Amino acid sequence: MLKDFKAFLLRGNVVDLAVGVVIGVAFGAVVTSLVGDLITPLIAAIFGSHDFSSLTFTIHGSVFRYGSFINALLTFVLVATAVFFFVVVPVNQLVQRARKEPTPDPTTRKCPECVSEIPIEARRCAFCTSEVAPA
């Protein structure tokens, strides 16, 4: 049983998942710091306040803390914006740069009349039946 447990732990999926969780937690701390230490003070400098938790209203003795909700909503929007612009956009650009365009097929060419793919040796297009000059 101990041998099976060791094999389970050392499988690639479990180790990859553990590494992903650790990296995710560390990255979460970076994004939280970015939003809390840079973006939120910038908003406070523009709008005058960055803490809305003191905003409340009372109805029949029940206190509604809508300021805390506004704080949570702003934090979510700021974190989502930071992740999008600092992670998603750069990663998409890197993936797009790394993506290779397929090399053109050297055994075909385009028909000048209908722009269909025809064999290089063809003298007549199979699609539009126009005569094609030899390659």
CB 84 within 8 A of CB 99: no
pLDDT at residue 12 greater than cutoff 70: no
Rounded to 5°, angle at Cα 19 from 14 and 20: 95
Structure tokens at 23: 């990296």
Domain spans, the chain: 11-98, 103-135
Q: What is the mean pLDDT of residues 23-27?
A: 85
Q: Would residue 123 be called left, alpha or beta, if left means φ above 0 and alpha means ψ between -120 and 50 degrees?
A: alpha
CB 117 within 8 A of CB 109: yes
What homologous superfamily does CATH list for 11-98? Large-conductance mechanosensitive channel, MscL; domain 1 (1.10.1200.120)
* 41-86 confidence digits (pLDDT tens): 887 788 776 677 788 889 999 989 888 888 888 878 888 888 888 8
Amino acid letter, residue 117: E
Q: Are the beta carbons of 2 and 8 closer than 8 angstroms? A: no
> What is the arithmetic mean of pLDDT over 109-122?
90
Residue 98 binned pLDDT confidence (cut-offs 50, 70, 90): confident
Confidence at residue 77, expressed as pLDDT on a 0 to 100 scale:
85
Cross-strand pairs, 5: none
